[in-house]
Structure 1
Amino acid sequence: MSAYLKEYLSAKEQPETFWKAQAQQIDWFKFPKTILSIDDNGIERWFSDGVMNTCWLALDYHCQQGRGDHTALIYDSPVTGKKQRYSYNALRDSVARVAGMLADQGVTKGDRVIIYMPMIPQAAMAMLACARLGAIHSVVFGGFAPNELAVRIEDAEPKVIITASCGIEVNKVISYKPMVDKAIMDSRWKPEKVVVYQRPECLADLNHARDVDWSSLLQHAIPSACVPVLATDPLYILYTSGTTGKPKGVVRDNGGHAVALKYSMHTIYRQPQEGVFWAASDVGWVVGHSYIIYAPLIHGCTTILYEGKPVRTPDPGAFWRVCQEYKVDTLFSAPTAFRAIKKEDPNGELLKQYDLSQLSTIFMAGERLDPPTLEWVESHTDKPVIDH
C-alpha cells in the first residue's frame, strides 16, 4: 500500500514529471518535448509532439532487441481444435504483409478500417496492421447483428471492412458475410472494399465488384514498414453498447495509450516479461484491445488469444486447462465467466485436475464482482483475486 500511495501521490502532485518518466519506458521515434498541453477545447493532450508507432512498440522493437524468437501470441481454439504459436519475428512478418495488403487496397494514414472478426489470429493481425499504417481501426464485436454493425459503419465511414467467413459458437457455425452484406445495404456509407478471410468451416460467397479474398491478396502483398504518427493521432475507435441511445465512438490516441499500458503491465499486473498473460475476453471489447493485443505485446511477454468459452468447450475446466498448458502467470476475465464455471462445477472438482502453481493472480473487471463469486474463486484456486 505504501508503494501504491507513493505512485499515486507522485502522479497527482507532479503529473508531467511522473508521466515523462513513464514515457521514457517506450521506444519513440521522436521523444516528446511537450508532456502535457491543453487544446482550445480544454482537452488534455499528452505527448503532443512525440512521434511513434504502436505496432513498432508491440512487435518490431522486440525483434530489434534480439527477442524475436520469444513467443508473442498463442492461439488456442477448442471450438476448432486448432492451436498455433507465433514468435515476435513471425507475427511481425505476418502483420507487415497484412499491412501491405491493406495498403494495396488504398488504406493510408488516417483512414478508418472496420474489423468484424471472431477470435482468430487474423483479427489481431488486422488490428496491428492498421496501427502499422497509421490507419484507425474500429473492431466490432463479432456477435453484433447487422443493424448494430450498420450504425458503426455509418459513423466511422471506413474505407475497408475486414471480416471472416464465419465465427464458431461452441457447436454452431455463424456465417458473418450475410450479416456484413446486410449491414452495408442498410448503411448510408459504403466501404470501397470488403476483405474476407475464408475459414474452412464455412466459405463465404464473394461479391466480386467489392469483396476480395484475404489469402489471395496476401500472396501478392509487399510488407509495409511502420508509418510514424504523432502521439495524439488516433489508434482506434471503439463504440459503446448503444443500450442508452446511439452508440458513441470513443477515440483512443497512440501515445497516452501505449505509455499507460506499458506502465500497467509493470505496476498493476506485475507481469514478468518472460511469462504468459491471458485476458480471457474478446477483441471486440476494450479489454481485448488493451490486454489481449496491445499491453502484453508492448510489454514483450506472451499473450493468449482464446476462441472458446469458460464452459462447454468442452467443460468448466477449460480455463484451468489453458492456465496449466501454457503456464499462465496472470488471468484476467469478467466475473460472469467465473459464475458460469461455478454454476457447472460448484465444488471445483475439475479445477483439482489441473496444476495452477504458475498462476500468481486473477484479475476481474467489466462488471460488479459479487461476494459469492469472489469467495468461490479465492477458496477453490487459492489465488489472490484483484477486483478492478
Structure 2
Amino acid sequence: MLTAILAAFLGGIILNFMPCVFPVISLKALGLLHHQGDSNRARTEGSGFLLGVVVTMLALAGLLLALRAEGTAVGWGFQLQSPLVIGILALIVLGAALNLLGVFEVGLSLQRAGEISVGRGVFVRSALTGALAIVVATPCSAPFMAGAIGFALVQPPAVALGIFLALALGFAAPFTLVSFFPAIASRLPRPGAWMDILKRGLAFPMLGAFAWLVWVLAQQAGTTALAAILASAVVVSFTAWLYGIAQRRRLMGRSFKVLLTITVALFLGAVVPLPNVLQAGAEPTAAPQTATAVAPVKWSPHTVNELRGHGKAIFVNFTASWCITCQVNDRTSLSTDAVKQALTRTNTVYMVADSTKFNADIDDAMSTFGQGGLPLYVVYPADGSAPKVLPQVLTPSIVINALNQASGKKT
C-alpha cells in the first residue's frame, strides 16, 4: 500500500508535465505572476487550487469505486467515455479561451470591469481551475500512475481513496509549493505589460484543447454530434461576446436586463438540447488504428484465447481516442517503419482494443493486468507462455525487442 501511495504521488507530479494538462496548468502560472510580491494572494491561489484538485479527485474516485462496486467495469478516465461529458467539457474549455482573449472577464462585477478581484473571488476561481485540471488530466496516465490506480481499484474503499488522495496531492504539489514559499516565487519574472500578451497567448493552447475534445466527440458520436457541438460553440462564443459588452459598457437598468435575458436564453438554447442530440447522434466508430503493415484485428477475449499458443506472437494495443499518451505512442513508435517491419518479419498478430466508448471486456482485461488506466500494451509470446506488459511510454526499440522475444526471432 505504501508503495502504491508513493507511486501515485510521483505519478501526480509527473502528470503536470503531460500534454493534456498543460493548457490548464498554464492558467495557474499566470495567476501566480499576477500576485507576485503579495504572499497572501499567492497563498490564496495555492490553497484554492489544492482544494479544487483534492475535492474533485476524491469525488471522481468515489464515483468510480461506487460504479465498480455495482458491477460496472470502469477505469481511470471513465467519464470521457460519455459524449455528453466531452461536449460540456469542450464548451467549458472554449469559455476559458475566450476569457483569456479578453472577450469577457470572470468574477468581476459590471461596475468594476477591468479590475483584479481579490480575496474570495481568487480562491473560488483557483478552486474551479483545480477542478478543471483534474477533469482534463484524466485522459493522461503518467509513469508510476497506472500501476498505483490498478492496485487501488482492487483494494477496500478506504485504501483506494488514500491512494487517489496521494495522486491529487502529487498533482497539486508543484504549484502549491511555489504559492506558499516566496523564495521560489521570487525567481519568477516580474509582472508587467508583457503579461497581457502572455494571457492572450495562453488562449491558443486552450483552443487546441477544445479542438482535440471536438475531435474525440466526433470519434465517439459521429457527424451529428459534431454539428451539434460546433453550433453550440458558435452560440456560446456569441453569448460570451454579449456578456463582455455588458461588462465593458457597464450597462445598467432596463438595457442590461434585456441584454442579460438574451444572453441567458442563447446560452440555454445551446446547452440544454445537447444531451438528447449527442445521445441520438451516437453512431459506431472504427477503432483507432495504427498505420502498420499488418492489418489490425479487433480485440476480444475470445479472439485472444483462440490465437494464443499457435505459433504466432500477439501484440494488443489498448487505446482510446481521448487518450493523448496513446496517440503520441502511435505516432512516435507504433507507426514507424521499423516497428511496421518488425511486425511483418515476426508474423505478429496486431490487435486493437478500442476504449473510446465504454467496453466492459476491455476494462476487465485491464484490471487483470493490474492497470487502472490507458495506455496498455500487452505482448503474448508465440509459445503460449505468460504475456508481457510494456511500459506506458513507448519507443520503437522497446516494441521491436518485445516482438523479437515474443516470436523467438533474433534481430
- Using structure 2 for the length normalisation, give the TM-score: 0.22
- Higher helix share goes to which structure? 2
- Using structure 1 for the length normalisation, give the TM-score: 0.23
- Higher strand share goes to which structure? 1
